Amino acid sequence: MKLIKSLYLTDRIFYVLGGVIICFFTSFLISSFFYVALGLLFLVIVFLVIDFFLLYTKKNIVKVRRTVSSILSLSDENNISISIRNRTSLNLKLKVIDELPYQLGERDFSIPFNLDKQQKEVINYKLKPLIRGEYSFGNVHIMVSTSLFFIRKKETTFSPFNTAVYPSILQMKQQELIALNHSSFIHGDNKMKKMGKSYEFDQIKAYVPGDDPRNINWKATSRINELMTNHFEDERSQQVYSIIDKSRIMKMPFGGLTLVDYAINTSLALSNIILKKQDNAGLITFSELVDTFLKADKSTTQLKKILFSLYKEKYNYSEANYELLYANIRRSIPNRSLLFLYTNFDSIYALERVIPILRMINKYHLLIVMFFDNTELEEYAEVKAKTVLDIYQQTIAKKFILEKDQIIKELKKHGIQAMKCNPKELSLNTINKYLELKSIGVI
């Protein structure tokens, strides 16, 4: 039974048998062709038997090993390698069939190649996952045939493997390299110690005229019988939060990824830069409820916590509850912080509903609203109209594009900073905005 399941006939055998059949039919007209047909049929059977014994005299013709990273990167080209060694003295024709995870939607994935005798070959191919979560690889099947190429033998290597697709770590590293060339990194801001009123204690010094009398340390004064005053250092570790809207409007796809995934990749890249700048990075995700609240911190494990939290985020098709978001921010973030809100507004009416909440958040914190250009709509609006229907649809498209600009003006009118950008450029624009705000000292 195993032999039957592993045995496959190639296209070549059918073509040859077709030629033999034609010879038999021709023999009805020319009798001498009958012996030619018999001779060809005999040769076919001989070559078929030889091919069979060449493939089935050895149990395992090839040795296969697949190498997959334990963590794959979302929306990036991840390298998968399969090592194959020919254990025979034959030149083989191989076809590799790898059982890929179902999330990739690949049902006919195969790689044909030739392998010389006693040779080892490493095949590399790329996978671009577009969905976060756990991915399960199945077995690796090798279709083996000799130079005769009459039959194929299927050898299966049982190599199931589970891996996880996390937010884009590769993009995070790329954005880190870009940010290192930013002027704020080159000039080394926040390296100078500034004296001022803050919560970060610096030292106790002798009182000199001009010092704030409210900072006099009476206990130290009584011990040495001389006026001593507390000096404080300007806080250099500000709190920066990434707030991700996971509601229905953020499920819109661009380039195979949803807006939520673009925001997730950006939040990871931004958090890495924040921690490099010795600031505190935090994370908030919400939709109908506030699903994740990770307090801002700059510990060595903070980036890993953010990565795991982003990996577990799920989509939600409900409407965003901005009132609950505001209540959580007021209760959980007492100090003034920088908040990057990743959301999207499809119309001016959607903004008007939440603008009072955004104004209240911006009153206590520095709020930056990041939302998205509809690039496909813009491309459609630029296409030359050919029918009356095209004119009507392009007019509606341009109306939506104009409303995006009106949304920015409306937010700025209320003192809220906003940025509209292409989803693929979200990480770069957000990091540049953070470094700009950091360099001018507004946080």
Range of lowest pLDDT (128-142, 159-173, 364-378): 364-378
**What pLDDT score does 140 carry?**
94
Task: Assess whether pLDDT exceeds 80 at residue 2.
Answer: no
Mean pLDDT of 204-232: 82
User: What is the Cα–Cα distance from 290 to 298, expressed in whole angstroms?
Assistant: 22
Does domain 169-189+236-440 bear CATH number 3.40.50.410?
Answer: yes
Cβ-defined contacts of 299-303 (< 8 Å, 24+):
302/271, 302/275, 303/271, 303/272, 303/275
Mean pLDDT of 392-416: 87
Mean pLDDT of 315-332: 91
Q: What angle do CA 261, 264, 269 make, to 5 degrees?
A: 130
Q: What angle do CA 144, 147, 149 make, to 5 degrees?
A: 65
Mean pLDDT of 61-68: 93
Mean pLDDT of 276-299: 93
- What is the number of H-type helices and E-type strands within the chain? 13, 21
Q: At what angle do helices 302-311 and 259-276 cross, to 10 degrees?
A: 180
Domain range 62-166, its CATH number among 2.60.40.10, 3.40.640.10, 3.50.50.60, 1.20.1250.20? 2.60.40.10
pLDDT in tens, 70-84: 999 999 999 999 999
**What pLDDT score does 295 carry?**
95
Mean pLDDT of 42-61: 91
Mean pLDDT of 44-62: 91
Range of lowest pLDDT (38-47, 209-218, 327-336): 209-218
Range of lowest pLDDT (1-5, 282-286, 317-321, 334-338): 1-5
Range of lowest pLDDT (70-84, 199-213, 281-295): 199-213
**What pLDDT score does 177 carry?**
85
Here the tokens at position 369 are 């609203």
Task: Assess whether pLDDT exceeds 70 at residue 192.
Answer: no
Q: Got the DSSP string for 398-419?
A: HHHHHHHHHHHHHHHHTT-EEE
Average pLDDT for the chain: 88
At 39, the amino acid letter reads G
Give the pLDDT band (50/70/90) at residue 201: low
Here the tokens at position 72 are 């794959």
Q: How many Cα atoms are found within 13 Å in the side-chain-facing hemisphere of 58?
A: 13
Here the tokens at position 282 are 């935090």
Give the pLDDT band (50/70/90) at residue 195: very low
Mean pLDDT of 105-113: 88
**What pLDDT score does 78 carry?**
93
At 392, the amino acid letter reads Y
**What pLDDT score does 252 carry?**
86
The residues, ordered by sequence, that sit 6+ positions from 267 with a Cβ below 8 Å of its Cβ are: 167, 242, 244, 283, 306, 310, 340, 342
The residues, ordered by sequence, that sit 6+ positions from 231 with a Cβ below 8 Å of its Cβ are: 195, 202, 203, 204, 205, 215
State whether the Cα torsion 375-377-382-383 is positive or negative: positive
**What pLDDT score does 200 carry?**
55
Torsion angle of the four alpha carbons 421, 422, 424, 427, in this order, in degrees rounded to the nearest 10: 0
Give the pLDDT band (50/70/90) at residue 290: very high
Mean pLDDT of 175-185: 72
Read off the pTM.
0.81
User: What is the Cα–Cα distance from 406 to 387, expressed in whole angstroms?
Assistant: 29
pLDDT in tens, 244-261: 999 988 988 888 899 999
**What pLDDT score does 185 carry?**
54
Other residues' Cβ atoms within 10 Å of the Cβ of residue 252: 15
